[in-house]
Amino acid sequence: MDVGQASGPARILAPPRNPARRLRLLGLAGLLTAVLAAGGWFTHRFLTLLVVDDARVAADMITVSSRVPGWVAEVKVIAGDGLAAGGLLVQIDDRDQALALREIEARLASLGARRAELEARLEMVDRQTASLQAVSRAKLDVARAALPAAEAERVFAEAEFGRAMQLMTSGSGTRQRHDQARSLLDGARQRVLGAVAEIQTAEAQIIAAEAARAELTVLRRQVDALEPLERELAAQRDRAALDLRDRSILMPFDGVVDRVFIDPGEYVAAGQRVLMLHDPARVRVEGNVKETEIRFLRPGTKVEVVVDALPGQRFAGVVERVGSAATSEFALLPSPNPSGNFTKITQRLPVRVALQPPPAPGLLRPGMMVEIEAARD
């Protein structure tokens, strides 16, 4: 039997590879890379960014109080309602005030009617006395104009009577002529007396008209006396109208109702709070920054705001104000150190951030937790 050529030296086989071990090594390498990357990112962030996690959304919380006491007739809103400026929030019973206002308005109307009556009477007396004065002056002018003629006639009659007497004495005259001359003289004298009487009568009428015009002064004083009464009643009317308006508590601005402290049927006192409101379009961010990091924030510093409730959204802002005193200075219970034992604690200063541009109204609500990020430069 033929025997073939001997084969070469035997091949050494490599041990089989372990895929699971390789995956573990790759995973460990990836984890190490991720840890290094995270550490590098955290280190970079720590060195270049100032992060304030003690920050919240804030707004001016307005407490609305009642200016007048009374029974609550109606509460138009509940917590969470939005209302435009001028909308009715609470209605307090105003029936008594409405009646009081109507009473004062009626008294004012009565005074107005009294004033109109006095002014009409004043005008009537003015016209009557002015007409009487004009007539009396005209009569006086006529009487004064007639007096010289009557005097001249009397002088002529006296002359005629004197000539008639001379003729009677000399026997040339007749008794009839003498009597006629005497009659003419008597008539002329009476006409003179009548003219004088007419003058006196006209002067008396003028004096009477002037006395009647004194009533105008009395009427004017009565009209003037109404003015302070009208002012007093007008002030009472305005006060009653103000009291009536104050019983309708209105929304002072476009805002949201946060809390309602009363219910219909309750009695509220003057100054008692009834509602709490805020303007959702005017929110801001307030935070407390460590005193060792406050140097990185100053008015005008640009920051970014991250809201816990809105992951993935970032809001631009600018530092509006930095507090001038640490928050511990405003603590209700101060912590003096009379014993000498001292533990140094890093203090915090308040910072206010304005969001630019402002967020949509209602997106950020007072009290929501946020973080402020600023560059350390």
Provide mean pLDDT across the span 328-332: 79
Q: Which of 190, 215, 245 is where one domain is finished?
A: 245
> 241 and 132: one domain?
yes
- Domain shared by 104 and 54, yes or no: no
Select from 245, 268, 294 the last residue of a domain. Answer: 245
For the chain, how big is the Rg over CA atoms in Å? 56
104 in the same domain as 79: no
Residue 176 has pLDDT above 50, yes or no: yes
**Per-residue pLDDT for 170 more than 90?**
no
359 cis-preceded (ω within 30 degrees of 0):
no
On whether both 116 and 81 belong to a single domain, the answer is: no
Burial of 342 (0-12, 13-18, 19+ CB in 10 A): exposed
pLDDT confidence tier of residue 272, bands split at 50, 70 and 90: very high
Q: Choose between 236 and 162: higher pLDDT.
A: 236
Do 295 and 317 fall within a single domain?
Answer: yes
Strand order of the β-sheet with 248-250 is 248-250, 88-92, 70-75, 267-268
Q: Is the pLDDT of residue 319 over 60?
A: yes
Domain boundary among 223, 245, 267: 245
Q: Is the pLDDT of residue 75 over 80?
A: yes
The pLDDT score that the predictor gives to residue 84 is 93
- CATH assignment at residue 110: 1.10.287.620
| 152 pLDDT tier (thresholds 50, 70, 90) | confident
Distances (CA, A) of 1 to 4, 5, 6, 83, 101: 10, 13, 15, 114, 143
In a domain, 55, yes or no: yes
Q: Where are the beta strands (DSSP E) in 174-243?
A: none
Q: Are residues 362 and 283 in the same domain?
A: yes
Is 10 among the domain residues?
no
Lowest mean pLDDT among 79-88, 185-194, 275-284: 185-194
Q: Which residue has tokens 């109109």?
A: 116
Same domain, 109 and 204: yes
pLDDT in tens, 210-238: 777 777 788 888 888 888 999 999 999 99
Segment 1-44, tens digit of pLDDT? 344 444 445 454 445 556 777 777 778 888 888 887 777 666 65
Q: Token pair of 186, please?
A: 């008597």
Residues 197 and 305 in one domain: no
Arithmetic mean of pLDDT, 337-364: 84
pLDDT score at 81: 93
Q: Are 123 and 213 part of one and the same domain?
A: yes
Q: Which domain holds residue 304?
A: 50-85+255-330+346-375
Percent pLDDT > 70 in the chain is 84
Q: What share of the chain is helix, strand, coil (3-state, %, to 5)?
A: 50, 20, 30
Asked if residue 24 is part of any domain, the answer here is no
Q: Which residues contact 66 (CB under 8 A, 6 or more apart)?
A: 90, 92, 246, 249, 268, 269, 270, 271, 272, 274
Q: Identify the residue with better confidence: 37 or 297.
A: 297
| Whether 310 and 280 share a structural domain | yes
Q: Examine residue 99 and state whether it is found in any structural domain, yes or no.
A: yes
Q: Does residue 304 lie within any of the structural domains?
A: yes
Q: Are 252 and 275 a contacting pair, CB within 8 Å? A: no
Among left, alpha and beta (phi > 0; psi -120 to 50; other), residue 270 is beta
Question: Which range in 119-128, 197-206, 273-282, 338-347 is most confidently predicted, on average pLDDT?
Answer: 273-282
Average pLDDT, the chain: 83
Percent of the chain with pLDDT over 90: 41
Count of structural domains, the chain: 2
Q: Is residue 42 domain-resident?
A: no
d(CA 346, CA 127): 93
Phi, psi angle pair for 85, to nearest 5°: -60, 135
Within a domain: 130: yes
3-7, 119-123, 136-140: range with lowest mean pLDDT: 3-7
Residue of 344 and 107 predicted with greater confidence: 107
Q: Both 54 and 101 in a single domain?
A: no
Q: Report yes or no on 213 lying in a domain.
A: yes
Examine the domain organization and report whether 176 and 270 are in the same domain: no
**CA dist 337 → 208, 216, 320, 344 (Å):** 99, 86, 34, 11
CATH number of the domain within which 353 lies: 2.40.30.170
Of 51-55, 115-119, 326-330, 336-340, the poorest mean pLDDT is in 336-340
